[in-house]
Amino acid sequence: MIRILVAHDKPSIAHRIGQLLVHVFSLRLNSWEGEIPYGKLAAGYPNYEFDYGKNMSEQSRLEDFTARYESGLVPWDDELPPPEVITLVQELESGKALDLGCGYGRTSIYLAQHGWQVDGIDFVPRAIEIAKERAASRGVSKDIRFHVASVADLDFLGDSYDLVIDIGCMHSMPLTELAAYRDGLLRLLPDGGIYLLFAHLRDEDKSGEEEPRWIQEEDLLALLADGFELLIAEYGETQVGDKPAWKSAWFRYRRINNQAI
């Protein structure tokens, strides 16, 4: 059975003050059958334009993300992963995990701190460099292997994983790359393995945009229709600064039918 969760109320909290930035995350929490669903995430970054939501080539995305990391304007630079990750880790026994688009390593580090062996993947060398430094400072380097690589080319990984997490990585990839990304998941996740995904969803009301952003939900669901069982879908919105809010969602899948690729 698929559970569909929708957020409503919005008590905002001040999250962090940086050297030049004020990160403010508005998290909407509302109970649904005793659980806390996905909420609205809002962050303010003045005078900065970043087009990572557009379905650009991998090289263009690499250049964009490299510029973002070099500038230090990174919305996902938080000490802890999102509550959806924390809740899932509390539910599962520790094992082997794969963190796709790991950035500075916050999810990888959190998993390692809770007994997991982790591989973290990001295609931005600067992000991986800092992730290694942070893992070392927290005493979990021995439990994490960080790799500079594309999430659409995971052939170098030979292990299988109990858990794969993607927080806002695959949603900016074109469908041609997503097919290779999906094949990597099918190969690396055994039967019963869990795949947790956070993605911005393309707004059909803005389908006339010259350069559409994010991924269409129907494409996402079709991509994972074979070999995965959708367990939970939690819908909300994400807003950056004074920009219009984007549709977004958390999806929790379970691997089924260990298909050979």
Summarize pLDDT for 65-108 with one digit per residue, the tens.
555 656 666 666 678 999 999 999 999 999 999 999 999 899 99
The domains of the chain are located at 58-237+248-255
Residue 50: phi and psi, rounded to 5, are -145, 125
Q: Are 65 and 52 in contact (CB under 8 A)?
A: yes
Question: Domain 58-237+248-255 - what CATH class?
Answer: alpha beta
In this prediction the pTM is 0.74
Q: Which of 105, 173, 178, 101 is nearest to 143 (CA)?
A: 105
DSSP state of 226: S
The sign of the torsion formed by the CA atoms of 146, 217, 172, 260 equals positive
Tell me the per-residue pLDDT of 223-234, one tens digit each, with 9 for 90 and over.
999 999 999 999
Q: Report the helix count and the strand count for the chain, using DSSP H and E.
A: 6, 11
